[in-house]
Each structure stands twice: as structure tokens, then as C-alpha cells.
Amino acid sequence: MEPVEIWDILPRRLQRVLGPLEGGVEELRLRAFQPPSVAVGGRERSLDCGALTPDELWRITEAAAGGSLWSCESQLRRGYLSLSGGARLGICGEVNLEHGEIRS
């Protein structure tokens, strides 16, 4: 699977507020029920585009996995998905294990 560009998987409303910052963003933090935030110049600031829904986060994650989370299971075990340009999409939350394997 070819890694995707982070820009291509973000919701349009988030792309609009990130556009002017694109070159200087060191880290983008996306959390359910909270507005996104960015780290620029070592400082974190909240973005004015409203809170993200769990469904939006799911779509971003699924797009980062090229539509197949199953094919990225080994990366997900390490807590991230690789994106193009050396970027990573870190994943956190709850996991359901069965015999040491991720089930959900």
C-alpha cells in the first residue's frame, strides 16, 4: 500500500484553517469532541473550526489506511499509520485483544 498525504485525508473545513499554516505545522492533534490543535514553533494552539466527531476521525483513519485497516494491522499494533513524506498518524484509544491479536 502506498502511503497517503495527510492533506488528502483531512475534512475540507480543517484544510481551510490549516492552509495558511501548512509549512509551519509541526504536529496536528485531532481528538473526538474537541477542536483540532496544532503545534507551531513549539507552541500549541487550538484551531477555530469546531469539534471533530468520532465519525470524522474514523474516516480520517480509514483513509490513511487506504480503506483497509486490516492491511495495516502491524502498524496499528505499534500505534501509528505511516503517511507519505515520513509523517505518521498516531492512534490511541481502546483495543480489544484476543490471544494477543487485535480484534477491534
pLDDT tens per residue, range 55-72: 998 888 888 888 877 777
| The three grid cell numbers given for residue 89, joined into one nine-digit string | 498518524
CA–CA distance, 96 with 98 (Å, rounded to integer): 7
pLDDT of residue 74: 77
Q: Which residue has the cell 474514523?
A: 58
Count of CB atoms situated within 10 Å of the CB of 40 = 14
Give the pLDDT score at 37.
87
Alpha-carbon distance 23 to 85, whole Å? 13
| Residue scoring higher pLDDT (88 or 13) | 13
| Rg for the chain, CA atoms, rounded | 14
| Residue 18 pLDDT grade (very low, low, confident, very high; cuts 50, 70, 90) | confident
